[in-house]
């Protein structure tokens, strides 16, 4: 097994390519995992994308993976491919701290169902990626693990709450990260770090973390450098489980026959320029317009849409902050100011709402779902910028600030958590500051594959996967 490429080229292999090379005995899983772990060891501290690095276990798994290849055993679709797992997913025998002082020494005795499925597919966990405390905010820093930085500029934020996963993928610390998204937490860091991030249809992937499964608005999903890698991960992870009742319905996947290759003739795209945000930076707008022009040049019909819709920002805050109060309020009394101050702020806000406030917000959520469904009577996809700006300064930079002060940071994203529609962020270009920008693609329920297929068209029209951050 001797593939002639530099370690740096090896680090930026797509998972699809790496898995094929391993299967064909052209790439050693041992050499591959060693290269990733060496990169984490040398460049990782500056980015701070990992809460825990599982080097010893990863190397042992890589040796077993190599033996299986040599023996001609049946191999999974991700055999020998390094992955990172967000520090919200339970992992047997490996610390899962949830980014929190509350669980700083917590070691689960079981694997989350998605971790099990990645293992069954042959993936090798190289570490647990960082998250803010309990994944509660849109940048990634925590009282336990510090600040996670953007590989494109270490003075900038990686986004959150799956910031460690996105930063790891962007920096070449493995081609796949498993993240979660409750109000944009996959798509925010994907947009900020210039990678692909998919929040699937509610129920497309099991979500074991939900404390209230029936009112859940969060989802697990992949962060990758290429759209094909995201699709491959979805194939490995999708399927029902009794843990999550939303998966049991087994919705019928949608496949648009007119979405074929790069010919978008007959594809209707609705562009939403503003949602709950009032502004978009000029450079983000420029890259969004250029991407929409590229799609129109390929035959798509692109029209502005969504004017007049109430995106229920206040109702969303009620639902979100009330959950923080119920879930984490008990920790406030015991741990006090050892908790993240933003989490304390959210808990305190949540404590002020009445039952009437909460139920009214739930009704508004239903109304939003029906409004978005109405848009899909007119178009096949919705598109927006992922974020209204490029990544802000990291919170410990001289001009850094907490996300609670960043008005509109997730304005394009949280509505589709509440409505359950699949939504992906794909890179759209770079801003004036050299940092990535993103385009969000949203589809009807169960159109996850079509959302990624349209993302692949964007990837083809405006390539990005060959680009590497200066930290490499």
84 a catalytic residue: no
pLDDT digits 0-9 by tens, 173-200? 999 999 999 999 999 999 999 999 999 9
Q: Determine the pLDDT at residue 47.
A: 98
Count CB neighbours of 464 within 10 A: 18
Q: What is the mean pLDDT of residues 385-396?
A: 92
Q: Determine the pLDDT at residue 3.
A: 54
Per-residue confidence band for 24, with pLDDT thresholds at 50, 70 and 90: very high
Q: What is the mean pLDDT of residues 149-167?
A: 97
Residue 2 has pLDDT above 60, yes or no: no
Q: Determine the pLDDT at residue 403.
A: 56
Q: What is the mean pLDDT of residues 6-26?
A: 95
217: which residues sit within 8 A by CB, 6+ positions away?
Answer: 182, 183, 202, 319, 365, 417, 418, 420
Dist. CA 63–CA 80, nearest whole Å = 9
Q: Determine the pLDDT at residue 136.
A: 95
Q: What is the mean pLDDT of residues 363-370?
A: 98
CB under 8 A, 24+ apart: contacts of 7-11? 7/35, 7/38, 7/39, 8/172, 8/468, 8/472, 10/35, 11/35, 11/36, 11/39, 11/172, 11/173, 11/472
Higher pLDDT, residue 61 or 408: 61
Dist. CA 203–CA 243, nearest whole Å = 11
Is the bond into 290 cis (omega within 30 degrees of 0)?
A: no
Higher pLDDT, residue 407 or 344: 344
The residue from 28, 84, 129, 161 that is catalytic is 161
Q: Which two tokens stand for residue 126?
A: 């190289």
pLDDT digits 0-9 by tens, 74-119? 999 999 999 999 999 999 999 999 999 999 999 999 999 999 999 9
Q: Determine the pLDDT at residue 400.
A: 66
The residue from 84, 142, 185, 428 that is catalytic is 185
Quote the percentage of the chain above a pLDDT of 90.
89
Q: What is the mean pLDDT of residues 302-318?
A: 96
The residue from 28, 84, 86, 162 that is catalytic is 86
pLDDT digits 0-9 by tens, 268-297? 999 999 999 989 999 999 999 999 999 999
pLDDT digits 0-9 by tens, 440-463? 999 999 999 999 999 999 999 999
Residue 162 has pLDDT above 70, yes or no: yes
185 a catalytic residue: yes
Q: Determine the pLDDT at residue 232.
A: 98
Residue ranges and CATH numbers for the domains of the chain are 7-268+386-461 (3.90.1300.10)
**Least confident residue range of 4-13, 98-107, 252-261, 413-422:** 252-261
Angle at 185 between CA 183 and CA 191, to 5 degrees: 115
pLDDT digits 0-9 by tens, 219-245? 999 999 999 999 999 999 999 999 999
Residue 257 has pLDDT above 90, yes or no: no
366 a catalytic residue: no
Q: What is the mean pLDDT of residues 411-440?
A: 98
* Angular region, 259: left φ>0, alpha ψ -120 to 50, beta rest: beta
**Sheet harboring 268-271: ordered strands across?**
50-53, 124-129, 82-86, 176-181, 219-224, 196-199, 423-430, 436-442, 381-385, 268-271, 301-304
Angle at 320 between CA 212 and CA 280, to 5 degrees: 135
Coil, strand, or helix at residue 135?
helix
Per-residue confidence band for 402, with pLDDT thresholds at 50, 70 and 90: low
Dist. CA 405–CA 394, nearest whole Å = 13
Mean pLDDT (the chain) is 94
């Amino acid at each position: 097994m001797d593939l002639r490429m530099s370690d740096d080229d090896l680090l930026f292999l797509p998972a699809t390519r790496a898995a094929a090379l391993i299967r064909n005995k052209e790439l050693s899983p041992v050499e591959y995992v060693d290269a990733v772990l060496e990169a984490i060891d040398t460049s990782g501290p500056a980015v701070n994308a990992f809460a825990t690095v599982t080097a010893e276990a990863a190397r042992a798994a890589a040796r077993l993976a190599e033996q299986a290849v040599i023996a001609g055993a049946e191999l999974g679709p991700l055999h020998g491919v390094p992955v990172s797992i967000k520090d919200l997913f339970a992992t047997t025998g490996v610390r899962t701290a949830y980014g929190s002082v509350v669980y700083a020494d917590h070691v689960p005795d079981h694997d989350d169902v998605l971790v099990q499925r990645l293992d069954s597919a042959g993936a090798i966990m190289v570490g647990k990626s960082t998250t803010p405390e309990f994944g509660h905010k849109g940048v990634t820093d925590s009282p336990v693990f510090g600040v996670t930085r953007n590989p494109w500029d270490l003075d900038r934020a990686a986004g959150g709450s799956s910031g460690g996963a996105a930063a790891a993928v962007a920096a070449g610390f493995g081609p796949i990260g498993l993240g979660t998204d409750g109000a944009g937490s996959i798509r925010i860091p994907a947009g900020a770090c210039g990678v692909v991030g998919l929040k699937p249809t509610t129920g497309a992937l099991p979500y074991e973390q939900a404390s209230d499964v029936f009112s859940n608005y969060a989802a697990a999903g992949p962060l990758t450098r290429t759209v094909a890698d995201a699709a491959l991960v979805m194939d490995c992870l999708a399927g029902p489980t009794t843990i999550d009742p939303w998966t049991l319905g087994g919705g019928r996947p949608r496949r648009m026959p007119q979405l074929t290759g790069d010919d978008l003739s007959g594809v209707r795209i609705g562009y939403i320029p503003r949602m709950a945000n009032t502004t978009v930076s000029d450079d983000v707008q420029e890259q969004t317009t250029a991407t929409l022009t590229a799609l129109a040049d390929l035959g798509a019909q692109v029209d502005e849409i969504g004017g007049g819709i109430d995106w229920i920002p206040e109702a969303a805050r009620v639902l979100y902050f009330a959950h923080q109060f119920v879930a984490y309020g008990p920790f406030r009394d015991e741990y006090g100011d050892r908790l993240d101050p933003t989490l304390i702020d959210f808990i305190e806000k949540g404590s002020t709402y009445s039952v009437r406030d909460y139920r009214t917000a739930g009704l508004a959520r239903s109304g939003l779902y029906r409004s978005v469904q109405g848009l899909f009577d007119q178009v096949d996809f919705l598109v927006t910028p992922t974020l209204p700006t490029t990544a802000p300064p990291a919170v410990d930079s001289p001009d850094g600030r907490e996300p609670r002060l960043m008005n509109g940071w997730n304005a394009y994203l949280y509505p589709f958590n509440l409505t359950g529609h699949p939504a992906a962020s794909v890179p759209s270009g770079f801003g004036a500051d050299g940092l990535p920008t993103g385009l969000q693609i949203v589809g009807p329920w169960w159109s996850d594959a079509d959302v990624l297929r349209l993302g692949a068209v964007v990837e083809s029209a405006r390539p990005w996967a060959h680009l590497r951050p200066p930290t490499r």
